[in-house]
Structure 1
Amino acid sequence: MRYQDRLFQQRHAAILEAARRLFREQPWDRVTIAEVALAAGIGKGTVYKHFPSKEALYAQLVLELSRSNLDELRALHAAQPGPQAMRRVIRQAFAQMLADPVLVQLCLLCDRPAFQERLETPYREQFLALEHDYQELFGQLLADFLADHDLSHDDCQYLLWGVEACFSGVMARIASGGFSHWAEPIGLPDYFERVTDFIIAGLRGQAGGLRGQPAGSA
């Protein structure tokens, strides 16, 4: 690799690390590109050579975290495939979110249509590819989990909509700070377990009503 390419990669990584650090120390939406540049030890103009906008910086942080998390979930599934893998992967996905609430807030931002429309085309394409990869993983998990059902592609998509809705709710709850402000607070570990139970029960219940249910099932 050429020296210039190595230097570019090093600056790229330094910018992202500086942004992560600043976003954890203060409200991320108030951090400026100038502050990120100062923390990274480079000029403001250099940041814009790597990221054309603050939205692009947000997007890159989310894409890198999401890919890393996806790799971890894939490895978990590969190590212990079978019907129980769905529960394990769901709980690990919730643990990943809880480990970095700031990035969860950024994920919710990046998922907004208006935000996506402002992004440059390469970033939008990466988000579409990432969505496809997550759907592929959860499609495989669903096939293992409901192996006794002959589900069509449309059946699986229908079921995964429900899973996506539950995940969105968990992300919103983590991003908001949990339940400490409630009259009867709920611990997040207990909340995660109940939501997981809800997803598992919902998948089984809904699958039983689809056309691909096993013969003789209710």
Structure 2
Amino acid sequence: MRYQDQLFEQRENLILDTARQLFAEQPWDRVTIAEVALAAGIGKGTVYKHFPSKEALYARLVLDLNRINLRELRALHAASSAQDAMHKVIRRAFEQMLANPIEAQLCLHCDRLEFQERLEAPLRQLFLDLEGEYQLFFADLLSTTFDNQTLSQADTQNLLWGVEACINGVMTRIASGGFTHWAEPIALDDYFARVTDFIIAGLRAQASELIAQPHRHE
């Protein structure tokens, strides 16, 4: 890598790290590019060379976090038995969100249609690519869980819709601060356990029904 490219990458990482720190200290949607630049010790124009808008900065933070999380989930899947893989992966996914509640809020924000439409085409494509990687991972996880029974792409997508709805619900709960403001607070660990069991039970029932459909054996 050329020296100039190394400097560019180091400065970009500095901007991202500074933004994460500021987002942890105050409402992330109120932090300005000027404040990021000041805290990083660089000019505002320099920040814009890396990230032309706050949306681009948000997008990069979310993309980076999801890539890191997906690598961890893949490694966990590879190290788990077929019986335990689905349970461990779902629970770990919840723990990843809990470890980064601010970035969970950012993930929800970046998933909105109006946000995606404001992004430049290359960034939108990166989100589509990431979604495809998660779908492939989910298909592989399903195959392991159901003894390598073949599910069609359409079947896998249908099952993923239900899982996504549950995971987005958990992400929203974490982003909103959990249950501490409820009259009778619920421990998040218990909540994660119940939702994980719910997801797996639903997947088993629906996948078994799909696998047993007569047209699959014609």
Q: TM-score, normalised by structure 2?
A: 0.94
Q: Which residue of 2 aligns with 1:183?
A: 183
Equivalent residues of 1:159, 1:203 under 8 A apart: yes
- Sequence identity percentage: 69
Corresponding letter in the other structure for 1:177: G
Structure 2, unaligned runs of 5 or more: none
Q: Which residue of 2 aligns with 1:71?
A: 71
Q: Which residue of 1 aligns with 2:24?
A: 24
Q: CA deviation at 1:156?
A: 1.7
Q: CA deviation at 1:201?
A: 0.6
Question: Which segment drifts farther, 60-69 or 144-153?
Answer: 144-153
Equivalent residues of 1:150, 1:214 under 8 A apart: no
Work out the CA distance in 1 between the residues paired with 2:150 and 2:27. 48
Q: Which residue of 1 aligns with 2:117?
A: 117
Equivalent residues of 1:34, 1:44 under 8 A apart: yes
Q: CA RMSD in A?
A: 1.4
Q: Relative to 1, partners in 2 of residues 1:155 and 1:44: Cα closer, same or farther, differing over 3 Å? A: same
Work out the CA distance in 1 between the residues paired with 2:42 and 2:72. 32
Equivalent residues of 1:83, 1:146 under 8 A apart: no
Q: CA deviation at 1:12?
A: 0.3
Q: CA deviation at 1:158?
A: 1.1
Q: CA deviation at 1:81?
A: 4.4
1:38 lines up with 2:28 in the alignment: no
For the residue of structure 1 that corresponds to 2:212, the secondary structure is: coil
Work out the CA distance in 1 between the residues paired with 2:152 and 2:125. 27
Q: TM-score, normalised by structure 1?
A: 0.94
Q: CA deviation at 1:147?
A: 2.2
Q: CA deviation at 1:2?
A: 2.1
Q: Which residue of 2 aligns with 1:213?
A: 212
Q: CA deviation at 1:83?
A: 3.1
Question: Which segment drifts farther, 151-160 or 186-195?
Answer: 151-160
Q: CA deviation digits over 1:86-124, x for unaligned, max 9?
A: 110000010000001000000000000110000011110
Q: Which residue of 1 aligns with 2:55?
A: 55
For the residue of structure 2 that corresponds to 1:209, the secondary structure is: helix
List aligned pairs for 1:124-163, cutoff 5 A: 124-147=124-147, 149-163=149-163
Work out the CA distance in 1 between the residues paired with 2:3 and 2:171. 41
Q: CA deviation digits over 1:164-204, x for unaligned, max 9?
A: 11000000000000011112211111100000000011111
Q: How many residues align?
A: 214
Q: CA deviation at 1:22?
A: 0.1
Structure 1, unaligned runs of 5 or more: none
Work out the CA distance in 2 between the residues paired with 1:27 and 1:98. 17
Q: CA deviation digits over 1:46-77, x for unaligned, max 9?
A: 00000000000000000000000000001111
